[in-house]
């Protein structure tokens, strides 16, 4: 039935623990600017949500005015670090025992708020109502629990990639994360609190409790406590994980002597839960009884969930509630039950942030006037603890005594993110090429690789802020934080969803931002852009002297050679670091000769002999030589053929990737030298857009909405993706509904080895979707 | 044990059910047998006896030595002739048994012919006669065997013979002793086919063969269940309908048991609650499917009750449950919301969490065994009702028939199931019950015996 009231917490939760001191750097961050609070108080855990603004430094580039150009010396553009205010959602989970300490802390640190009300949900809300109102001076406004739960569920499903996962205890990776399906409705939510509620969710605002059961987490806890004299829920689960249910349950083989073959019932199937305790005159161990009870309840819930899923024709069934919350034991038994009853037709899905749904929902209820649902949000890896940070199985003692705070932070993104309309099948699109949660060998390599590269990143970060004395200290904090994340991921690769090279890169960017290193490569980028610009006219001229066919090859080689200039690649950054003279021609010499590792250049050339494309969408990569001497001449050729070009670059900085604002300036400068580019810009045949991302990789399911609109408007029929991060670590297997070109140089010997090539091997992958011949 | 007896006695006194000193139409015959077989008097019922007579089945007057005298004797000849005649008449030789060996209980039905001619009487071998006498003159067999006299079907015609159908049950745990008895009494010499269904037909097949030289005819339990059920419904319960339902199930004050005819109104959802639960969608006598099942059944109720209260028998557990209050154990919707949960149309009195109060130590310490037994019963019953209702909706079936020994002397559950079907379906579903609750599998097995012979 209704999850409701969750549980009567055990007595220890009632005694307020005031002895703990809270580490304010770590939890309740940005409390000074907090506004809008919501709280979800369950049987043993409190989840606090607040909205706050974060002031952090951002790197801005700005063209010099013509008038002041002299004063600027030889600088290409002005780089400034500015304070920017962004919105962030904070969620903190802690044991009810700490609620008073936490409220005191909040009160002391809350300065700038005009908030009068705190939204509350959860069974414990009424119990602490008076305390909250007295401590915070806020009025407690209670919200319906199920409404909050559903709102929260919709929010995480929409905004957090890899939110949902399938649990497979005996598989290589226990967690198989689901790709974000843009269409999350309809689904079934089975919330297992003290009872069970089964809710059908049809849209943002439409949901219905279609059923439930009184046999739920409270039954496991209550009956378990009676049978085993074990008081705590977690301890009961631990007992269960050690027990043998077959000594308590009557199995099919106990009745039949074997299987009941004609009905397909195997001998090990439970015929009667606790059936043996009715007849056998003996003592049963606590472990065995707890296990039997766990199976009984999990099977029962699984069976009901299947019956309801079948009746309402739903295939997506999410499980939540305190019975499930981060417990591998219950996720396993529920999964087993669902597989048994549906014969694999329905998968049991779980949520990474299941514990926060109520708090998120309550918050959203209170923030309706801000329209939080019109924005896109992103999980901040730097500020979030990750899955199972307080799992009893990972850390039983810690959980038992607690003091553990689990956190989730979500950044409000400036831009609304949507699918690239040119994805062949958005629901099956997976950006990442290798899932490191499943590939232990690759995981080990990349974790070590990122660990080894950390010194260099720290050095670069310090160097990017030469005038700020405390930069070194901050950089050290960054190092510690990222190192800690890497260590966590080594033990719990699933902590933030599927572990990928992309997530490792993104986590690093989030951590750098966290410690106010918004753009460590800004100066390097500027210098390289400046140098490259000087060679632009010469490069274009030499290309124009070539025959058409030679030129096409030279253009491709140019893009590839340009792509060698990548500070994100270990092998290259070492070369660039030691040899500042390393140039474009040098890079071309390093390139693999044809035939390349992946080589469809001949098909591409054939295609170019045909009619021009209507519009090409080009996802660019690095600054400097890459964009200016590699990409721009290639774009110029496309424009000359009569193809419109949309250049998509990052919204925010990542490594030495060119950002949209930098590219604006660079393009203007090139236009000043090159009438082809100039007229294309003026005639809107060349358009610069931001992709909505600040990642060295590319997720085509989360792109800027404006970009998506433009792509549709221009009837884009060619997508070009350049660089290792965007075309190999991600999107290597991406299927598009139009022609696509993926170009990259492999600048990592381990990866080259894996793909059967060598360092500086070339991937040139031209693809035409089936059924669209040219 | 005493409690169990008193309960049954009470039950016997309270309604049309009679356990002891039954006056049945078999009349004289029964009395004669009692007189002739004093050692198995009713005082032995419910295991009051000790020592050598404590096994489930005791037939003191049968001597193993008898077998030797039979070889090539007139007795054997007459047996052969009898068998031949039976086959001629498309009728198997006596005794006629049907057996259903479940996870907890063995159900045995025995057809006692009352139209025995003098000639037959004379020819009847001693073995057979003693079996008949033993079974029909007792209501209890050893410690744990019981004949449900109140269920006896009198003057029933089967295969052209008139007789009484007896219903006997004993714990599956006593099966080895039962088989041993079959060996000791040389049951195999009777050349009858032992039709058995239930899981035990498979589990004990080898034991029957090895220990007693008996070959079982193994039958599918669901086939037998349906066949037996439809047969008993057809012949009725000694002139009364076999089937009943509850009128006004939602009102405890005016809720009354009403007889009705099941008839051949297919489809029906058949919910068989034994140790575990099987749910079948039945479209005709020979067309059915097993929709699903659940391991939360009668075995779970009794098993949990034994662990929670220290009770030992089903009767004891039910007795306790009848006195308890489950709301001390279960958390209700109103315990959480202070009333109804209107957002979802849940009544305040609905159970939100079974055993939910038991999460709290103070409440665990103050709870009575009776309350725990009641809560266990309510939990299991509600759950079965809930699954059955979902299956009925999924299969688009409106009549839900509940059978199985879990429902024996269990009006709390039958009324609750009737209520649950009615309430949650807003009157769309009707719960039906049958008087012979757990015996249909055994009846079906017996019918198979008779059918087998017809096929010869």
| B15 to chain A, closest Cα gap in Å | 29
Q: Which residues of B touch A300 (CB under 8 A)?
A: 294, 296, 383
Instruction: Give me the residue label for tokens 């074997």.
Output: A258
Select, from the ranges A13-17, A488-492, B260-264, the one with the highest average predicted confidence (pLDDT).
A488-492
Find, in chain B, the residue whose alpha carbon is nearest to that of A1: B352
> Per-residue pLDDT for B339 more than 90?
no
Instruction: Give me the residue label for tokens 């660990």.
Output: A451
pLDDT digits (tens, 9 = 90+) for B416-443: 999 999 998 999 999 999 999 999 999 9
Query: Which carries the bigger pLDDT value, residue A427 or residue B249?
Result: B249
> Per-residue pLDDT for B99 more than 50?
yes
User: Please, what CATH class does the domain formed by A521-767 belong to?
Assistant: alpha beta
pLDDT band at residue A111 using 50, 70 and 90 as cut-offs = low
Q: Which residues of B touch A11 (CB under 8 A)?
A: 361
Closest by Cα among B150, B199, B176, B156 to A272: B199
Report CA B452 to chain centroid distance, whole Å: 24
Residue B79 confidence (pLDDT) = 61
Q: Does B266 touch chain A (CB under 8 A)?
A: no
How far apart (Å, rounded) are the C-alpha atoms in residues B194 and A739?
75
| Among candidates B102, B290, B295 on the partner chain, residue whose Cβ is nearest the Cβ of A270 | B295
In the predicted model, what is the mean pLDDT of residues A420-425?
Answer: 95
| E strands in A143-276 | 164-167, 175-177, 187-192, 196-201, 207-213, 250-251, 270-272
Find, in chain A, the residue whose alpha carbon is nearest to that of B289: A263
Q: Is the pTM of this model over 0.95?
A: no
Lowest mean pLDDT among A1-5, B83-87, B164-168, B400-404: A1-5
In the predicted model, what is the mean pLDDT of residues B341-360?
Answer: 90
| B361 to chain A, closest Cα gap in Å | 8
Contacts of A406 (CB under 8 A, 6+ apart): A92, A93, A94, A355, A385, A389, A390
Query: Which carries the bigger pLDDT value, residue B17 or residue A625?
Result: A625
Q: Does A211 touch chain B (CB under 8 A)?
A: yes
> Per-residue pLDDT for B273 more than 80?
yes
| A270 to chain B, closest Cα gap in Å | 6
Contacts of B260 (CB under 8 A, 6+ apart): B241, B243, B244, B245, B432
| Among candidates A214, A250, A274 on the partner chain, residue whose Cβ is nearest the Cβ of B353 | A214
In the predicted model, what is the mean pLDDT of residues A734-757?
Answer: 94
pLDDT digits (tens, 9 = 90+) for A284-303: 999 999 999 999 999 999 99
Find, in chain A, the residue whose alpha carbon is nearest to that of B290: A263
In the predicted model, what is the mean pLDDT of residues A625-650?
Answer: 97
pLDDT digits (tens, 9 = 90+) for A4-28: 333 333 333 334 444 455 555 566 7
Residue B61 confidence (pLDDT) = 41
In the predicted model, what is the mean pLDDT of residues A133-149?
Answer: 90
Above pLDDT 90, what percent of chain B? 63
pLDDT digits (tens, 9 = 90+) for A689-717: 999 999 999 999 999 999 999 999 999 99
Mean pLDDT (chain A) is 87
Find, in chain B, the residue whose alpha carbon is nearest to that of A312: B394
How far apart (Å, rounded) are the C-alpha atoms in residues A728 and A750?
13
pLDDT band at residue A590 using 50, 70 and 90 as cut-offs = confident
Report CA A339 to chain centroid distance, whole Å: 28
| Among candidates B171, B296, B341 on the partner chain, residue whose Cβ is nearest the Cβ of A296 | B296
Q: Which residues of A touch B275 (CB under 8 A)?
A: 250, 255, 271-272, 275, 278
Residue A16 confidence (pLDDT) = 42
| Among candidates A249, A260, A284 on the partner chain, residue whose Cβ is nearest the Cβ of B295 | A249
* Residue B47 DSSP class: G
In the predicted model, what is the mean pLDDT of residues A210-239?
Answer: 95
ipTM of the prediction greater than 0.90, yes or no: no
Q: Please give the CATH architecture assigned to the domain spanning A34-64+75-159+358-412.
A: 2-Layer Sandwich (3.30)
Q: Which of A278, A292, A346 to mutate to test the interface with B (most CBs of B within 10 A)?
A: A278
pLDDT digits (tens, 9 = 90+) for B182-225: 898 888 888 778 999 999 999 999 999 999 999 999 999 999 99
Q: Which of B345, B359, B366, B390 to mutate to test the interface with A (most CBs of A within 10 A)?
A: B359
> Per-residue pLDDT for A748 more than 80?
yes
Instruction: Give me the residue label for tokens 């994805």.
Output: A423
Contact A250 B299 (CB under 8 A): yes
| Among candidates A1, A8, A296 on the partner chain, residue whose Cβ is nearest the Cβ of B360 | A8
* Residue B398 DSSP class: -
Q: Which of B354, B391, B420 to mutate to test the interface with A (most CBs of A within 10 A)?
A: B354
In the predicted model, what is the mean pLDDT of residues A647-665?
Answer: 95
DSSP A537-554: HHHHHHHHTS-HHHHHHH
**Do A34-64+75-159+358-412 and A164-248+284-351 agree at the fold level?**
yes
| Among candidates A197, A223, A254 on the partner chain, residue whose Cβ is nearest the Cβ of B355 | A223
Contact A123 B300 (CB under 8 A): no
pLDDT band at residue A404 using 50, 70 and 90 as cut-offs = low
Structure tokens at A545: 């002297």
Residue A252 confidence (pLDDT) = 94
Report CA A254 to chain centroid distance, whole Å: 48
pLDDT digits (tens, 9 = 90+) for A244-272: 999 999 999 999 998 888 888 889 999 99
| A201 to chain B, closest Cα gap in Å | 14
Lowest mean pLDDT among A41-55, A603-617, A658-672, B18-32: B18-32
Find, in chain A, the residue whose alpha carbon is nearest to that of B329: A222
How far apart (Å, rounded) are the C-alpha atoms in residues A285 and A388?
29
Single out the catalytic residue among B112, B124, B152, B221. B221
Q: Which residues of A touch B355 (CB under 8 A)?
A: 218-219, 221-223, 226
B contact residues 394-423, partner A, Cβ 8 Å cutoff? 394
**Residue B221 is a catalytic residue:** yes
Contact A260 B199 (CB under 8 A): yes
> Per-residue pLDDT for A29 more than 80?
no
Residue B364 confidence (pLDDT) = 96
Longest dimension (CA), chain B: 82
Query: Which carries the bigger pLDDT value, residue B81 or residue B334?
Result: B334
Mean pLDDT (chain B) is 83
Task: Please give the CATH number for the structural domain made up of A164-248+284-351.
Answer: 3.30.420.40
Residue B54 confidence (pLDDT) = 41
- How far lies A504's CA from each of A436, A523, A702, in Å? 10, 24, 18
Select, from the ranges A56-65, A112-121, A746-755, B289-298, the one with the highest average predicted confidence (pLDDT).
B289-298
Domains of chain B: 89-234+441-452 (3.30.420.510), 243-323+368-434 (3.30.420.40), 330-366 (no CATH)
Query: Which carries the bigger pLDDT value, residue B87 or residue A477?
Result: A477
pLDDT digits (tens, 9 = 90+) for A34-52: 888 899 998 778 899 988 8
Contact A5 B307 (CB under 8 A): no
Half-sphere exposure for A138 (CA within 13 Å, toward CB): 25
Residue A657 confidence (pLDDT) = 95
Q: Which residues of B touch A276 (CB under 8 A)?
A: 303
Residue A73 confidence (pLDDT) = 55
Q: Which residues of A touch B394 (CB under 8 A)?
A: 307, 310-311
Q: Does B88 touch chain A (CB under 8 A)?
A: no
Find, in chain A, the residue whose alpha carbon is nearest to that of B204: A257
| A213 to chain B, closest Cα gap in Å | 7
> Per-residue pLDDT for B83 more than 70?
no
In the predicted model, what is the mean pLDDT of residues A483-509?
Answer: 92
Residue B52 confidence (pLDDT) = 39
Lowest mean pLDDT among A378-387, A463-472, B215-224, B227-236: A378-387
Find, in chain B, the residue whose alpha carbon is nearest to that of A308: B390
Q: Which residues of A touch B210 (CB under 8 A)?
A: none
Instruction: Give me the residue label for tokens 């609304």.
Output: A416
How far apart (Å, rounded) are the C-alpha atoms in residues B153 and B237?
6
Residue A455 confidence (pLDDT) = 94
What are the sequence ranges of the domains in chain A? 34-64+75-159+358-412, 164-248+284-351, 431-515, 521-767
Above pLDDT 70, what percent of chain B? 79
Find, in chain A, the residue whose alpha carbon is nearest to that of B292: A341
Lowest mean pLDDT among A301-305, A365-369, A406-410, A685-689: A365-369
How far apart (Å, rounded) are the C-alpha atoms in residues A422 and A737?
5
Q: Provide the number of CB pairs (under 8 Å) joining chain A to chain B.
A: 227
> Per-residue pLDDT for B177 more than 50?
yes
Q: Does A277 touch chain B (CB under 8 A)?
A: yes
pLDDT digits (tens, 9 = 90+) for A354-382: 889 999 999 998 887 777 777 888 888 88
Contact B330 A214 (CB under 8 A): yes
The answer regarding whether domain A431-515 maps to CATH 1.10.580.10 reads no
pLDDT digits (tens, 9 = 90+) for A157-171: 988 888 999 998 877
> Per-residue pLDDT for A392 more than 60?
no
Residue A631 confidence (pLDDT) = 97
User: Residue B73 CB: number of other CB atoms within 10 A?
Assistant: 12
A contact residues 73-132, partner B, Cβ 8 Å cutoff? 123
Residue B86 confidence (pLDDT) = 55
| Among candidates A144, A213, A278 on the partner chain, residue whose Cβ is nearest the Cβ of B386 | A213
How far apart (Å, rounded) are the C-alpha atoms in residues A48 and A120?
9
CB A693 within 8 A of CB A648: no
pLDDT band at residue A98 using 50, 70 and 90 as cut-offs = confident
Q: Does A231 touch chain B (CB under 8 A)?
A: yes
pLDDT digits (tens, 9 = 90+) for A525-540: 998 999 899 999 999 9
In the predicted model, what is the mean pLDDT of residues B103-116?
Answer: 95
Q: Which of B104, B280, B333, B353 to mutate to test the interface with A (most CBs of A within 10 A)?
A: B353
Q: Which residues of A touch B103 (CB under 8 A)?
A: 250, 254-255, 271-272, 275
Q: Which of A3, A246, A263, A274 to mutate to test the interface with B (most CBs of B within 10 A)?
A: A274
């Amino acid at each position: 039935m209704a999850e409701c009231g969750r549980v009567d917490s055990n007595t220890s939760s009632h005694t307020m623990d005031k002895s703990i001191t809270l580490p304010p750097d770590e939890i309740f961050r940005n409390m000074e600017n907090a506004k809008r609070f919501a709280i979800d108080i369950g049987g043993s855990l409190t989840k606090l949500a607040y909205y706050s603004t974060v002031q952090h430094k951002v790197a801005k580039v700005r063209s010099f005015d013509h008038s002041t150009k002299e004063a600027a010396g030889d600088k290409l553009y002005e780089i400034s670090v500015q304070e920017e205010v962004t919105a962030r959602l904070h969620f903190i989970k802690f044991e009810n025992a700490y609620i008073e300490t936490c409220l005191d802390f909040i009160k002391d640190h809350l300065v700038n708020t005009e908030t009068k009300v705190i939204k509350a949900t959860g069974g414990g809300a009424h119990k602490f109502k008076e305390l909250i109102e007295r401590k915070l001076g806020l009025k407690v406004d209670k919200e319906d629990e199920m409404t909050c739960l559903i709102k929260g569920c919709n929010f995480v499903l929409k905004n957090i990639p890899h939110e949902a996962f399938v649990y497979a205890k005996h598989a290589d990776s226990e967690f198989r994360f689901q790709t974000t399906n843009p269409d999350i409705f309809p689904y079934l939510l089975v919330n297992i609190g003290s009872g069970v509620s089964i809710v059908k969710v049809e849209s943002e605002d439409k949901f219905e409790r279609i059923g439930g059961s009184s046999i739920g987490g409270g039954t496991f806890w209550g009956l378990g406590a009676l049978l085993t004299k074990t008081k705590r829920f977690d301890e009961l689960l631990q007992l269960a994980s050690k027990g043998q249910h077959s000594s308590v349950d009557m199995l099919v083989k106990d009745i039949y002597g074997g299987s009941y073959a004609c009905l397909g019932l195997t001998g090990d199937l439970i015929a009667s839960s606790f059936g043996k305790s009715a007849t056998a005159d003996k003592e049963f161990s606590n472990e065995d009884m707890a296990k039997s009870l766990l199976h009984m309840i999990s099977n029962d819930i699984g069976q009901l969930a299947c019956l309801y899923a079948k009746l309402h024709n739903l295939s997506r069934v999410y499980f939540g509630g305190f019975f499930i919350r981060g417990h591998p034991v219950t996720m396993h038994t529920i999964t087993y039950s669902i597989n048994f009853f549906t014969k694999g037709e329905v998968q049991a899905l779980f949520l990474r942030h299941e514990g926060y749904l109520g708090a998120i929902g309550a918050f959203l209820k209170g923030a309706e006037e801000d329209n939080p649902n019109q924005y896109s949000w992103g999980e901040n890896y730097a500020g979030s603890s990750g899955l199972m940070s307080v799992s009893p199985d990972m850390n039983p003692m810690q959980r038992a005594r607690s003091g553990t705070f689990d956190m989730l932070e979500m950044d409000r993104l400036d831009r609304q993110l949507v699918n690239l309309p040119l994805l062949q099948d958005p629901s099956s699109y997976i950006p990442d090429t290798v899932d490191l949660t499943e590939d232990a060998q690759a995981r080990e390599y990349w974790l070590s690789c990122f660990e080894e590269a950390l010194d260099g990143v720290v050095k670069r970060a310090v160097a990017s802020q030469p005038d700020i004395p405390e930069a070194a200290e901050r950089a050290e904090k960054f190092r510690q934080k990222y190192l800690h994340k890497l260590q966590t991921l080594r033990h719990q690769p699933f902590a933030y969803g599927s572990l990928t090279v992309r997530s490792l890169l993104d986590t690093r960017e989030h951590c750098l931002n966290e410690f106010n290193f918004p753009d460590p490569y800004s100066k390097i980028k500027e210098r390289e852009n400046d140098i490259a610009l000087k060679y632009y006219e010469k490069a274009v001229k030499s290309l124009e002297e070539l025959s058409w066919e030679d030129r096409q090859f030279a253009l491709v080689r140019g893009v590839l050679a340009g792509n060698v200039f990548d500070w994100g690649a270990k092998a290259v950054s070492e070369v660039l670091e030691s040899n500042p003279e390393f140039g474009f021609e040098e890079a071309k010499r390093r390139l693999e000769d044809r035939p390349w590792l992946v080589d469809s250049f001949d098909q591409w050339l054939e295609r170019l002999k045909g009619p021009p494309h209507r519009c090409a969408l080009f996802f660019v990569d690095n600054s400097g030589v890459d964009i200016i001497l590699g990409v721009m001449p290639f774009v110029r050729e496309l424009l000359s053929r009569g193809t419109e070009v949309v250049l998509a670059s990052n919204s925010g900085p990542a490594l030495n990737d060119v950002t949209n604002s930098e590219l604006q300036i660079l393009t203007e400068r090139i236009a000043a030298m090159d009438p082809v580019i100039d007229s294309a810009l003026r005639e809107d045949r060349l358009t610069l857009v931001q992709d909505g991302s600040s990642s060295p990789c590319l997720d085509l399911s989360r792109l800027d909405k404006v970009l998506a609109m433009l792509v549709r408007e221009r009837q884009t029929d060619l997508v070009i993706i350049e660089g290792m991060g965007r075309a190999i670590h991600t999107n290597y297997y991406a299927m598009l509904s139009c022609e696509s070109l993926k170009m990259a140089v492999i600048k990592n010997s381990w990866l080259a080895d894996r793909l059967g090539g060598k360092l500086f091997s070339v991937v040139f992958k031209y693809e035409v979707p089936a059924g669209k011949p040219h | 044990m005493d409690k169990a007896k008193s309960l049954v006695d009470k039950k016997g006194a309270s309604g049309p059910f009679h356990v002891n000193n039954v006056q049945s139409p078999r009349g004289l015959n029964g009395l004669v047998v009692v007189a002739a077989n004093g050692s198995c008097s009713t005082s032995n019922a419910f295991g009051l006896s000790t020592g050598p007579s404590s096994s489930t089945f005791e037939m003191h007057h049968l001597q193993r030595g008898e077998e030797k005298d039979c070889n090539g004797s007139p007795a054997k000849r007459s047996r052969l002739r009898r068998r031949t005649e039976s086959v001629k008449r498309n009728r198997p030789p006596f005794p006629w048994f049907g057996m259903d060996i479940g996870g907890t209980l063995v159900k045995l039905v025995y057809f006692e012919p009352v139209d025995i001619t003098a000639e037959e009487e004379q020819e009847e071998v001693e073995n057979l006669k003693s079996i008949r006498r033993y079974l029909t003159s007792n209501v209890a067999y050893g410690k744990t065997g019981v004949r449900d006299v109140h269920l006896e079907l009198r003057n029933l015609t089967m295969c052209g013979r008139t007789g009484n159908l007896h219903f006997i049950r004993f714990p599956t745990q006593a099966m080895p002793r039962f088989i041993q008895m079959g060996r000791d009494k040389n049951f195999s010499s009777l050349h009858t086919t032992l039709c058995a269904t239930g899981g035990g037909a498979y589990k004990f097949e080898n034991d029957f063969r090895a220990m007693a030289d008996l070959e079982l005819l193994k039958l599918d339990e669901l086939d037998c269940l349906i066949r037996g059920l439809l047969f008993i419904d057809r012949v009725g319960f000694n002139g009364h309908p076999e089937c009943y339902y509850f009128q006004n199930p939602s009102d405890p004050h005016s809720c009354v048991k009403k007889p009705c005819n099941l008839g051949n109104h297919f489809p029906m959802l058949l919910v068989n609650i034994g140790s575990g639960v099987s749910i079948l969608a039945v479209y005709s006598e020979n067309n059915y499917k097993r929709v699903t099942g659940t391991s939360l059944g009668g075995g779970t109720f009794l098993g949990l009750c034994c662990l929670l209260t220290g009770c030992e028998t089903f009767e004891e557990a039910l007795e306790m449950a009848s006195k308890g209050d489950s709301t001390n154990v279960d958390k209700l919707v109103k315990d959480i919301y202070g009333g109804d949960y209107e957002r979802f149309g849940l009544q305040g009195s609905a159970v939100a969490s079974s055993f939910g109060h038991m999460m709290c130590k103070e409440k665990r310490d103050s709870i009575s065994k009776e309350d725990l037994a009641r809560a266990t019963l309510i939990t299991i019953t509600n759950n079965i009702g809930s699954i059955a209702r979902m299956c009925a909706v999924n299969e688009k079936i409106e009549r839900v028939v509940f059978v199985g020994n879990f429902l024996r002397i269990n009006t709390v559950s039958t009324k609750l199931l009737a209520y649950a079907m009615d309430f949650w379906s807003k009157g769309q579903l009707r719960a039906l019950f049958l008087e012979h609750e757990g015996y249909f599998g055994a009846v079906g097995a017996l019918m198979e015996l008779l059918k087998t012979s017809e096929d010869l």
